A and B are shown apart, each in its own frame.
Chain A
């Protein structure tokens, strides 16, 4: 009996659980501080920098990296690439958790969570891009939730309702693509209102196009990265179909990401040419722009291309991580680093350790929720009772 208890304790006291538990405890303390002492007590935000890490990382990076949901489901259900079917459920789950955490994180920035439904149901600011973003995220989170439910219903044994929801797949996928097109681009368009604040190399009349196009390869890279992690840590949860299709997903998405990234690189150059911003390239921030574009777009695009041509999945997996870092860098550049670039350094923003701590807390919540779902529901494997349905 005592031995069984010790084994059970050991199962819970894994390094992952201990570290995640500590981060969550710290995060809860920070949450109490945020909602009792106000936003000024925990952040370095001021009138010059009203948007900080929570918007730049949690929202902008969160939404772009959650794009794997619409990319994968549209590849499978709209373009008919059924060989990527095994990647759809993990991608939808990641997207759902990603968007849910974006909304969760937004509460820290905005405060007053009970007023979250106001822009949708009470006072619509229809002339504001933020309203459009809010409406799309609200609708898309609902779509993702419905798309995710068949896995939960299979787990719970609700066959009838699961079959009914499954009939909506194509409609939901189309709806998801439309909504993603709208809000991914609108997040970039938010910065169109600040041409004097954003550095000319990042500011462009095509900012919304950049955000949308980059979200596509961000989503693909995230699917590859997440698949790699699942392969490494949740191998026992994957069935033969998932294991057999994993390399095909990596090669196919790697090739597509490479092509889109090259196109993205091209339209970024067009952006410089249209505004005639060539002379900024020789400045300090110009070099930083080069780092973003050459090191974090062109280089991973080439890495992806070599990997998919030579069928070297390791190269593609490295390129995926590289691309994700590049997307994070791009979003942070637009929202923080190249924003208010003309201000003296004393007035520039750097996040407080409590902001960084809250962000780590939110990411940890996502990882814990992902692990909870994946270890229980048929995400990385097909439920044995529903195999004939695919």
Chain B
């Protein structure tokens, strides 16, 4: 991926970052449920 302006770079890298953050926000509560669902 080639970038010609800082704006291009930020749009691309922040876009990917937000997607990763969204995935983490969904994954972490599910992971917590997985960790604790057998607790007494």
Q: Chain A interface (Cβ within 8 Å of chain B)?
A: 255, 258-259, 262-263, 266-267, 269-270, 273-276, 305, 308-309
Contact = CB atoms under 8 A, between A and B. Distances in A.
12 contacts: A255-B36, A259-B32, A263-B24, A266-B27, A266-B28, A270-B17, A273-B16, A274-B14, A274-B17, A276-B16, A305-B34, A309-B35
Contacts of B21: 270
Contacts, number: 43
A263 B13 contact: no
Query: Counting chain A CB atoms within 10 Å of each CB, which of B9, B21, B35, B36 scores highest?
Result: B35
Contact of B31 (A259, A269, A270, A275): A259
Given A259-B32, A266-B20, A269-B20, A309 B13 contact: no
Contacts of A270: 17, 20-21, 24
A276 B20 contact: no
Given A273-B17, A274-B17, 14 more contacts: A255-B36, A259-B28, A262-B31, A263-B24, A266-B27, A269-B24, A270-B20, A270-B21, A276-B13, A276-B16, A305-B34, A305-B35, A309-B34, A309-B35
A274 B15 CA distance: 9
Interface of B: 1, 9, 12-14, 16-17, 20-21, 24, 27-28, 31-32, 34-36, 38
A385 B21 CA distance: 53
B30 to A, nearest CB: 10
Nearest to B31: A262
Contacts of B36: 255
A258 B34 CA distance: 11
Contacts of A275: 13
B13 to A, nearest CB: 4
Contacts of A273: 13, 16-17, 20
A276 B8 CA distance: 12
